[in-house]
């Protein structure tokens, strides 16, 4: 019966986290959609359209030499947009208040969020100190598994997209093939700049994919901290009562 209670309480905890995230998820969903559109959907659609127009003879064959840079430039523009409006916009405030004051302000906001969520969580999931310890341990194990799965999916996506790019190059019958020289370790970069742009674009896509998965892990890890605060509060209450 004790294991069933643990399982039911853990289910209640997961349901609370899921319902609470839904209220804050619209911002994350918008960011994920923007990453998908600007870094994958638009480059894929534009590339397919240009290749089709080249096959039909509407565009000259020389347009294909600019295709790699066209795929690369959209993720770069989106990255610069995010960097400018979400990161650099905070620089003037940091100069006015100072780095330490800005960091402390963020700490205060994070602490207010933890206190608010911890109160809601303790009311939604009524459990003893031992049960909270079990739920925290289970949640930590699940977060570790999620982090490992993100790394695996990032590596798998890198292999799949590399093979897709090689297949597209073979289908387009590009005259400039990748050449390996004996005199330079990175001679293929010197002889084929198009391949270099492909690898840079692939690296940017994998970085964005990994960061999106890491962002999900970090957001869930905040709820683990709230559960730790609840357990600590129950432990302090038990100590004060016994004392």
Looking at residue 136, its pLDDT comes to: 92
Q: Based on C-alpha coordinates, what's the Rg of the chain?
A: 25
- pLDDT (tens digit per residue) in 24-75: 667 667 777 878 888 788 888 888 888 888 888 887 877 777 777 777 788 8
Looking at residue 220, its pLDDT comes to: 86
Looking at residue 86, its pLDDT comes to: 61
User: Taking residues 229-236, what's their average pLDDT?
Assistant: 86
The total of structural domains in the chain comes to: 1
pLDDT reading at 166 higher than 70: no
Looking at residue 233, its pLDDT comes to: 85
- pLDDT (tens digit per residue) in 126-135: 888 888 999 9
Which among 153, 152, 172 has a CA at the least distance from the CA of 68? 172
What's the mean per-residue pLDDT of the chain? 75
- pLDDT (tens digit per residue) in 180-231: 444 444 444 444 455 666 677 677 777 777 777 777 778 888 899 999 999 8
pLDDT reading at 118 higher than 80: yes
User: Taking residues 91-105, what's their average pLDDT?
Assistant: 66
* CB neighbours of residue 61 within 10 Å: 13
Q: Domain range holding 203?
A: 2-242
Lowest mean pLDDT, pick from 65-74, 147-156, 174-183: 174-183
User: Taking residues 136-164, what's their average pLDDT?
Assistant: 82
DSSP reduced 3-state for 67: helix
Q: Contact at 8 Å (CB) between 211 and 32?
A: no
Q: Please report which residue ranges of the chain form alpha helices under DSSP H.
A: 2-36, 42-56, 67-82, 91-97, 99-124, 129-171, 187-191, 193-242
pLDDT reading at 13 higher than 60: yes
Looking at residue 180, its pLDDT comes to: 46
Cα separation, 42 vs 48, whole angstroms: 10
Please give the biggest Cα pair distance in the chain.
87
Percentage of residues in the chain having pLDDT higher than 70: 70
Q: Which residue has the higher pLDDT, 196 or 121?
A: 121
Which among 207, 218, 198 has a CA at the least distance from the CA of 155? 207
Report the length, in residues, of the chain. 243
């Amino acid at each position: 019966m004790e294991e069933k209670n643990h399982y039911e309480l853990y289910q209640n905890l997961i349901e609370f986290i899921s319902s609470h995230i839904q209220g804050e998820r619209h911002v994350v969903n918008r960011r994920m959609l923007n990453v998908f559109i600007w870094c994958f959907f638009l480059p894929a659609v534009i590339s397919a359209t240009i290749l089709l127009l080249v096959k039909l003879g509407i565009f000259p064959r020389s347009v294909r030499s600019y295709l790699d840079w066209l795929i690369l430039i959209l993720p770069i523009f989106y990255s610069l947009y995010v960097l400018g409006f979400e990161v650099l916009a905070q620089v003037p405030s940091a100069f006015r208040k100072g780095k330490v004051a800005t960091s402390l302000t963020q700490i205060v906001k994070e602490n207010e969020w933890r206190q608010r969520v911890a109160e809601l969580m303790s009311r939604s999931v009524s459990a003893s100190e031992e049960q909270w310890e079990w739920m925290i341990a289970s949640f930590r194990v699940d977060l570790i598994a999620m982090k490992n799965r993100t790394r695996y999916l990032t590596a798998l996506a890198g292999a799949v997209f590399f093979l897709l790019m090689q297949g597209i190059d073979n289908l387009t019958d590009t005259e400039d093939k990748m050449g390996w020289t004996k005199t330079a370790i990175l001679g293929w970069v010197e002889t084929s700049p198009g391949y270099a742009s492909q690898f840079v674009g692939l690296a940017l896509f994998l970085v964005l994919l990994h960061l999106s998965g890491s962002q999900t892990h970090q957001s869930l890890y905040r709820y683990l901290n709230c559960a730790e605060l609840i357990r600590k509060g129950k432990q302090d209450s038990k100590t004060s009562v016994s004392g």
